[in-house]
């Protein structure tokens, strides 16, 4: 590991770690002391980076509220405020979004443009909601969304989110046949997108 101050490779590891368990180092050239997280977006934060990353990932992926996340982690003995979640999201969301887009664009190909979409009714934080989910032909997750309603507006919001997140407009979408999907697909993805209805073909969603 090179020095974060001068870039020198003359770095020695110190015997003690930080309070969060990160290794400490000292540069023999400039005398600077630093740790594994020095110089990163999460430097000086109170909590480990993997905990913060998980909070932000759940916030983005499952559309959980700021207070929901603080309460969920409180049950695990990790205490932070909803304002902390807002700050972490502002720091990490752009980086996670760019990384996600690069990975999905890298896969590319016709197979990633064939989506299977379904929704499940489940309880989240004591409240019932519809969990929308889409995968591609290879079983890779495209996007997810929680909604209080199972209607046209929810379906349109989900397709807009999936399109914005992936940067991809599918050539074909297979659904379970709910009546809101045909118009939602036409209005958000375009009339050229082929819509197929098949509960059997969407069984892969139940197993994903």
Q: Give burial (CB, 10 Å; 0-12/13-18/19+) of 52.
A: buried
Burial 154-192 (b: 16+ CB within 10 A, else e): bbbbbbbbbbebbebebeebbbbeeebbbebbeebbeee
pLDDT value, residue 158: 94
Q: Quick count: other Cβ atoms within 10 Å of Cβ 116?
A: 25
pLDDT value, residue 155: 95
**Whole-number average pLDDT of the chain:** 84
Q: Quick count: other Cβ atoms within 10 Å of Cβ 16?
A: 7
Structural domains of the chain, ranges and CATH numbers in brackets = 1-39 (no CATH), 49-106 (no CATH), 109-207 (3.30.420.10)
Q: Structure pTM? A: 0.48
Burial 120-130 (b: 16+ CB within 10 A, else e): eeeeeeeeebb
Higher pLDDT, 106 or 176: 176
Mean pLDDT of 42-49: 84
In the chain, what percentage of residues exceed pLDDT 70?
A: 88
- CB of 173 within 8 A of CB of 193? yes
R_g of the chain computed on alpha carbons = 22
pLDDT digits (tens, 9 = 90+) for 163-182: 988 888 999 999 988 899 99
199: confidence class by pLDDT, cuts 50, 70, 90: low
- CB of 39 within 8 A of CB of 60? no
In the chain, what percentage of residues exceed pLDDT 90?
A: 37
Q: Which H or E run includes 173? A: strand 172-175
């Amino acid at each position: 590991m090179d020095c974060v101050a001068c870039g020198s490779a003359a770095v020695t590891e110190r015997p003690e770690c930080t309070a969060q368990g990160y290794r400490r180092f000292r540069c023999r050239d400039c005398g600077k002391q630093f740790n594994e997280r020095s110089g990163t977006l999460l430097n000086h934060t109170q909590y480990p980076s993997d905990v913060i990353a998980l909070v932000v990932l759940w916030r983005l992926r499952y559309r959980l509220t700021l207070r929901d996340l603080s309460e969920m982690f409180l049950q695990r003995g990790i205490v932070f405020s909803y304002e902390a979640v807002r700050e972490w999201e502002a720091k990490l969301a752009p980086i996670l979004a760019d990384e996600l887009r690069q990975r999905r664009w890298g896969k590319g190909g016709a197979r990633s443009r064939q989506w299977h979409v379904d929704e499940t009714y489940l309880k989240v934080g004591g409240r019932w909601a519809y969990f929308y989910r889409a995968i591609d032909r290879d079983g890779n997750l495209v996007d997810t969304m929680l909604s209080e309603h199972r209607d046209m507006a929810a379906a349109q919001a989900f397709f807009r989110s999936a399109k914005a997140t992936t940067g991809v407009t599918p050539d074909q979408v297979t659904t379970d046949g709910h009546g809101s999907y045909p118009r939602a697909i036409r209005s958000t993805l375009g009339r050229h997108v082929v819509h197929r209805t098949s509960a059997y073909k969407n069984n892969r969603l139940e197993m994903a």
